[in-house]
Chains A and B, each alone.
Chain A
């Protein structure tokens, strides 16, 4: 694997050099290149479920960032963004656009997650994505995409009695992709799409599977009232099968959305969704039907909205029906004061009383206020309450969250950001209860009043109480200094701490230093 990594880095470097040296680069180029390194010192307990904050940070040299963007030839735009390229991780994104004709995008990510502080256990995930959109005419759009994910390495064994059928290792490959075509004329858009997935697991052949899905959609004005009424229709058919077990399941969907705007401030929406899953394994055919109606009224001082939905879920054996409703309002009390309020609730009834959870009731309430007393200062508060009950099982889950924030920006001097969040969650069932609350404070100060120098410091602190007793903190110091006209130096130091005072083996502490030297370029 090391050879492949070095080869990947070398090829990336060569491609970059070739790009920079290309005679086709007759346009403009801008961006920055950063090189540096990381020093990491950490200590953790032997309980590997305490996945530490730093499992994606790697000691050693790093091509920290290459960000180049500009024009090739007369008008072809490109953007290359490489980050954190080292022997353990690297990620990159490349976009190339030929105006009026095509857009290509390639994305690559690879990370080796170090699952214990000593580096003895690790898991690597590598993801490739590519997409191409071709617009041969303004009306026709052809698109294709492909993704490949490889995962190798150790799986953290959470279960005391062994890793289960999934094993103690990862070694699988997941391929996904698709092709599609869209034709647009005026406000009408028609499209066809085919997508596939293929999963191959080297550690367990039984898990191998493949699937495909074909979809078609149409969007356009209604012939009866083209100015006021727009349709969206979509349908699909797909299947998945386990290669080596010979079983499969199929899915078919039909979706309709109608949007009516009889007058400018008023909008009405009707949504219908239906799907059927035929699962050969369970022998069940599950039908899901949903109808939703929503109304929104907007003015320059705010908006009011409300909606209702009715859902049925039927798998031949059980039938559930749900009523769903929502309502809310937004208000711009003045150009500098905004308020929002929304409420949503649902009530599910199990007609046969055969599902595990039987009836379910749930609700969510949100409210927020944002005030901007001056151009430089913003602050706000928000509240959220969530409740879910299974009344026939005597089970309930309740949670509330309070948050507040403040931002102060002084151009040429610096900025201050302060966030606070408090949450309290309570779960009760037949066996007892579990409750945890959490206070999180995050703060950051940025200073830029000294020429060419930017300094920052930040703190994240959590305290989790009631049935748990956990503390966590991250303290950060950063500096950025511009040298000459085009060079800069960056240094960052983070201190991480995590302590579980109930499960004493869950702890970690880490000191990490990043150092980078960078060059900004701009070529005409």
Chain B
């Protein structure tokens, strides 16, 4: 493993060495150019109030600023010198999804914005950046039009119903937000981590990440069984405790029995019918993966001699 470590450090070092002089030079030399924002506000005087306190406010009127009104609203000087009706400026609010995203991406170059211009389901549905974000003003984080959860659920009506279920992630109390799970790895392709979509869950539920000496294939995203957290859990809300998709306890065991056909648990020559009707979870406690038992059995069974050689030995 020493090779990759050295390579990583060398590349990062090289990047920093190249970057630092550029950083110093840029800090000392502002990138200036003709700015037209004050001229815009002379006529569009209502915009001054809209921009007040917002993240884009500081960018108008600054002579040394790299961004001004005309960076988003492109056009020609004829608009303010001749006839504004005859020479209209571009308006991102009236552009298509990808074109609007490209305007934003000129400054906000991030996987989220980039994805909006290419693969995002939002883009496919005609939802533009401006449908969620206020460009001119706004005090909410990320300049959203409202509280994030309420904003998302105003369109995602099925999810509103799911969050109302008895067991749900606490978006209602604001403990987590939609974007804590969604929009996390929006690079145009699949996640980079080996947990796949489960990587989002493991941000908070890190104790289940593994690797475990005895992995449960249903919980491992890269397994040929194509597992992952979403195999067993409904992330928005569920009728079952622990956000389980199906019952895990008596009288229903569907969560386990849909994959595991284990008739010996109902009757076998060693135990008779002792385990019939007993919830799977009574013995298989470490179902996300175990450090000790290939059957994810609880160590409490050790006292009963269950792990003896020839029986359920580890």
> Which residue of B26, B158, B189, B226 contacts A255 across the interface (Cβ within 8 Å)?
B189
Cβ-based interface call for B312 (8 A): no
Q: Per-residue 0/1 for B193-205: is the Cβ within 8 Å of any A Cβ (1 yes, 0 no)?
A: 1100000000110
Cβ-based interface call for A5 (8 A): no
Tell me which residues from 164 to 189 in chain A have a Cβ below 8 Å from any Cβ of chain B: 164-166, 170, 172, 174, 176, 179, 181-182, 184, 189
What is the CA–CA distance of A236 and B189 in the complex, to the nearest angstrom? 12
Cβ-based interface call for A79 (8 A): yes
Q: Which residues of B contact A257 (CB under 8 A)?
A: 119, 188-189
B65 near A99 with CB under 8 A, answer yes
Cβ-based interface call for B308 (8 A): no
Known contacts A101-B27, A253-B192, A472-B166; A149/B206 CB under 8 A? yes
B158 near A134 with CB under 8 A, answer no
Q: Which of A275-283, A446-454, A477-485 contacts B (4 or more CB under 8 A)?
A: A275-283
Cβ-based interface call for B310 (8 A): no
B31 near A234 with CB under 8 A, answer no
B175 near A209 with CB under 8 A, answer no
Cβ-based interface call for A108 (8 A): no
A166 near B207 with CB under 8 A, answer yes
> Which residue of A134, A213, A286, A442 contacts B160 across the interface (Cβ within 8 Å)?
A442
Q: Taking CB as reference atom, which chain B residue is nearest A107? A: B141
Q: Which residues of B contact A234 (CB under 8 A)?
A: 187, 189, 192
A137 near B157 with CB under 8 A, answer no
B55 near A165 with CB under 8 A, answer no
What is the CA–CA distance of A442 and B114 in the complex, to the nearest angstrom? 35
- State the interface size on chain A (CB cutoff 8 A): 155
Q: Which of B39-47, B76-84, B87-95, B249-257 contacts A (4 or more CB under 8 A)?
A: B249-257
Known contacts A159-B281, A286-B222; A181/B53 CB under 8 A? no
What is the CA–CA distance of A218 and B189 in the complex, to the nearest angstrom? 12
Tell me which residues from 64 to 85 in chain B have a Cβ below 8 Å from any Cβ of chain A: 65-67
What is the CA–CA distance of A451 and B84 in the complex, to the nearest angstrom? 39
A277 near B194 with CB under 8 A, answer yes
Cβ-based interface call for A492 (8 A): no
B58 near A71 with CB under 8 A, answer yes
Q: Per-residue 0/1 for A359-379: is the Cβ within 8 Å of any B Cβ (1 yes, 0 no)?
A: 000000000000000000000
Known contacts A31-B139, A49-B242, A470-B239; A357/B19 CB under 8 A? no
Cβ-based interface call for A226 (8 A): no
What is the CA–CA distance of A498 and B239 in the complex, to the nearest angstrom? 12
Q: Which residues of A contact B260 (CB under 8 A)?
A: 356
B291 near A207 with CB under 8 A, answer yes
Q: Which residues of A contact B272 (CB under 8 A)?
A: none
Within the complex, the shortest CB–CB distance from A334 to chain B, in Å, comes to 15
B192 near A213 with CB under 8 A, answer yes
Q: Which residues of A contact B114 (CB under 8 A)?
A: 219
Ranked nearest first, the 5 interchain pairs of A and B with the lowest CB-CB distance are A164-B285, A421-B161, A136-B23, A49-B241, A30-B53
7 further interface pairs, Cβ-Cβ under 8 Å (given A50-B166, A330-B125): A136-B26, A245-B213, A397-B258, A401-B161, A427-B258, A434-B247, A440-B164
Instruction: Tell me the B residues contacting A by CB distance below 8 Å.
Output: 1, 4, 7-8, 11-12, 15, 19, 22-27, 30-31, 52-55, 57-59, 62, 65-67, 109, 114, 118-119, 124-126, 139, 141, 157-158, 160-161, 164-167, 170, 172-175, 187-190, 192-194, 203-204, 206-207, 209-213, 215, 217, 222-226, 239, 241-242, 246-247, 252-254, 257-261, 279, 281-283, 285-286, 290-293, 298-301
